[in-house]
Amino acid sequence: MTGSPTMGIKTVLHPVSDLAKAKEVYAALLGVEPTTEGDYYVGFEAEGQHIGLLPGGGPQGMTSPVAYWHVPDIEAKVAELTAVGATVKDAARDVGGGRLVATVTDLDGNVLGLIQDRVR
């Protein structure tokens, strides 16, 4: 079994309790200002990574950071993962601009995020 050359962790989302203060901490850590900023989400682009801050864990109710693997076909990857024992936590859904996001849990309860960007 080999990984796709286009697949990789490019996004990590962090639940935060105070978005304004967390934004300052992550800006200092990353050395850049946010590229996306709102009441519901603050995102940074740094060194080819997207770091997102979700107040209160966002609608997903995240309680710890989640790494998101970018995949070419999210439905196929969810099917592949569930076939070997993973469980769907949040089914694939469009979060805007054609980007699909899903999460599954591995056999130990770890949350694995999946992202499929809009097909161009």
| Domains along the sequence of the chain with CATH | 10-60 (3.30.720.120), 65-120 (3.10.180.10)
Q: What is the pLDDT of residues 55-112, one digit of tens each?
A: 998 888 888 999 999 999 999 999 999 999 999 999 999 988 899 999 999 998 999 9
Residue 39: helix, strand or coil by DSSP?
Answer: coil
For the residues 35-50, what does the mean pLDDT come to?
94
Average pLDDT, the chain: 91
pLDDT tier at 6, thresholds 50, 70, 90 = low
**How many other β-carbons are positioned within 10 Å of the β-carbon of residue 51?**
21
pTM (two decimals): 0.81
Answer yes or no: is pLDDT of 1 > 50: no
The better pLDDT of the pair 115, 59 is held by 115
Question: Any long-range contacts for 100-109 (C-beta under 8 Å, 24+ apart)?
Answer: 100/74, 101/68, 101/74, 102/74, 102/78, 103/60, 103/66, 104/78
Answer yes or no: is pLDDT of 53 > 90: yes
pLDDT tier at 118, thresholds 50, 70, 90 = confident
